[in-house]
Amino acid sequence: MIRAGVVGATGYAGAELVRILTGHPGVKLAIVTSRQYAGDAFDKVFPSMAGVVNLKCREFTIDGVCDIADVVFLALPHKLPMAYVPELLERGKRVIDLSADFRFKDGSTYEAYYQPHTAKDFLDEAVYGLCEIYPDQIKNSRLIGNPGCYPTSVLLPLIPLLRSGILDLHSIIADSKSAVSGAGRSLSLKTHFCEGNESFKAYNVAQHRHNPEMEEILSSEAGKQVRITFVPHIVPMTRGMETTIYTNLHKDASHEDVKECLSSFYAGSPFVRIRPDHRPPDTLHVRGTNFCDIGFHIDERHHRLILMSAIDNLIKGAAGQAVQNMNIMLGLDETTGLSHIPFPL
């Protein structure tokens, strides 16, 4: 049985990893680490896990993780994973990093939006873990840069259409709405109840650090530079993300062309659902699951395509996709441990 370790297990994404891996039939969750809660039982930090997770949080050390884990999930803030990944790989571990440290091929782009990168030699090797798009590369990898939540919700609708050549690549605007959990578990004024409740606001307009992540992937897919306008928002709910994308179509592209492109591309993808024309994606319908629901509408007056997607930001946007990456890396069915039935309400 595969032994897994979660480093940073008491953040929101880390806790979701613990929940999913605990129910994974091919995995033994061997170690969970937490700087803040080292020595405490995991179910003391998250009482919902009483009787389910019987592990104590440990202080992270390379030796402590490597001695008992085959696969290591790094659910840590940006900058920390780059310090640990080289030695984890040297010691034969498979690594799935949920930070941005290994999502970029161009280290200078990372450094422009984050901080100096101390493990650039591993950027070429790292695979961008967008599971439905790069499964063959993921299969042969030992280091995954797990995509961000916003990029997952933007790239999955766009890439099939970009590959088909029916999009005007100079006109893409993406507007995303994220639940408050996307900001993480650390205390901050913007996520304080009195500041976030009954509040709906944009932030980091056209300068969010997920913007270059999306542009690097889209440019690689297109074989030329692609720039998009991206505006994120925070909405007062616990989990979920809805993205609406606006882009012009080439004149001869029809509704049926778009529908056929998306439907055929994702025909073998168990976690992508193309919604009926009359029912746009809804965060309620993907809550707690690894699904990405995609819908679209064509504004005939302007021949403009409106794409919509909905994901659970903590699952498909983080922990669920990380486990899906692990499944593909290790030759398991990609749905193993992830077949959560959606809540009806």
- Integer CA distances (angstroms), 290 to 94, 142, 341, in order: 22, 22, 10
Report the pLDDT value the prediction gives residue 204, as an integer from 0 to 100. Answer: 82
Specify the CATH number of the domain 150-313: 3.30.360.10
Report the pLDDT value the prediction gives residue 199, as an integer from 0 to 100. Answer: 80
- CA 88 vs. chain centroid, Å, equals 22
131 is catalytic: no
Which residue spans within the chain are E strands per DSSP?
2-7, 27-33, 57-58, 71-74, 94-97, 127-128, 143-145, 173-178, 201-202, 229-234, 241-248, 272-274, 292-299, 304-311
Report the pLDDT value the prediction gives residue 182, as an integer from 0 to 100. Answer: 77
Distance separating alpha carbons of residues 145 and 72, to the nearest angstrom: 12
Q: Which of 66, 131, 149, 261 is catalytic?
A: 149
Collapsing DSSP to helix, strand or coil, 232 comes out as strand
Collapsing DSSP to helix, strand or coil, 251 comes out as coil
Specify the CATH number of the domain 2-147+316-329: 3.40.50.720
Of how many residues is the chain composed?
345
pTM for this entry: 0.95
Report the pLDDT value the prediction gives residue 80, as an integer from 0 to 100. Answer: 95
| Among candidate residues 9, 39, 38, 36, the one with its CA nearest the CA of residue 22 | 9
Task: Write down the domain spans for the chain.
Answer: 2-147+316-329, 150-313
Structure tokens, 22: 């605990």
Beta carbons within 10 angstroms of residue 344's beta carbon? 6
Which one-letter amino acid corresponds to residue 19?
Answer: R
Report the pLDDT value the prediction gives residue 187, as an integer from 0 to 100. Answer: 62
Beta carbons within 10 angstroms of residue 300's beta carbon? 8
Compute the radius of gyration of the chain from its Cα atoms.
Answer: 20
All residue ranges of the chain with pLDDT < 70 are: 185-187
In the chain, what is the straight-line distance between the N-terminal and C-terminal CA atoms, in Å?
35
Q: Could you tell me the maximum CA-CA distance found in the chain, to the nearest angstrom?
A: 63
